[in-house]
Amino acid sequence: MSIPLDDALDLTGTGDLWLFRGASAADQAIRAVTNSPVNHVGMTVALDDLPPLLWHAELGQSLLDVWAGKHHRGAQLHDLHDAVLQWRTRYRQRAWLRQLQTPVTRAMEDEVLRVVARMDGTPFPATAALVTRWLRGRARRSAPVETTYCAEVVASAYQAMGLLGTDRPANWYDPGSFWSGDRLRLLGGAMLGDEIAID
């Protein structure tokens, strides 16, 4: 199943996942190291009458971070339309939407905003540091907070929302952890739908 981006923006709500797969050497390296079908993940933040936003972490800094009101690398909150369009056109990545199929309460949204306030602007790690950070997580050891990568910011938000347990640190997760094939263990009966390709 595939839908146009504008239709996806009308459907998406806080907690929905956006997954990306590209063909660059860096994209392929991320997928090879993590044995993952995707190399990037972000999460929708949709609050009141604001346009939907994308909470993620990336090396780029060409889009305005709407939380900080400036351009920077690392953990960022972007206009979702602009971010997906950039990943599809400039970065030449395929994109999918996975919808969270559980009600998101105001308290859960407040927790997401606390995560954004705490992590926004945290730098993206260098490649070697990213791999070391992820491997440390696989050993169930938390990593220092001076850097963060995309799956880590999404996992942190999900943990704060009560959707993921804290038995695994946020750096245990990689982008593929949020793909349907990995059977993400959500709490409280929460579920994620199948991937919807974005035209």
Question: Taking all residues of the chain, what is their mean pLDDT, rounded to a whole number?
Answer: 95
Place of tokens 């090879």: 32
Q: Which amino acid is at 31?
A: R
Q: Which amino acid is at 166?
A: T
From the list 184, 160, 135, the residue with the least C-alpha distance to 55 is 160
- CA-CA-CA-CA dihedral for 46, 47, 49, 51, to nearest 10: -30
- Domain formed by 2-198, architecture: Alpha-Beta Complex (3.90)
Contact 16, 43 (CB under 8 A): yes
Residues of the chain with pLDDT below 70 are: none
Q: What local confidence, expressed as pLDDT, does residue 29 receive?
A: 84
Model confidence over 22-80: pLDDT tens digits?
998 888 888 888 888 999 999 999 998 899 999 999 999 999 999 999 999 999 999 99
Q: What local confidence, expressed as pLDDT, does residue 35 receive?
A: 83
Phi and psi at 156, nearest 5°, equal -60, -40
C-alpha 82/C-alpha 177 separation (Å) is 25
The two structure tokens encoding residue 50: 């604001």
C-alpha 142/C-alpha 180 separation (Å) is 25
Give me the count of residues in the chain: 199
Q: What local confidence, expressed as pLDDT, does residue 181 receive?
A: 84
Domain limits, the chain: 2-198
pTM beyond 0.85: yes
* 127 Cβ contact partners less than 8 Å away, ≥ 6 residues apart: 26, 29
The two structure tokens encoding residue 114: 């606390």
Q: What local confidence, expressed as pLDDT, does residue 74 receive?
A: 97
Q: How many helices (H) and strands (E) does the chain have?
A: 6, 7
Q: What local confidence, expressed as pLDDT, does residue 78 receive?
A: 98
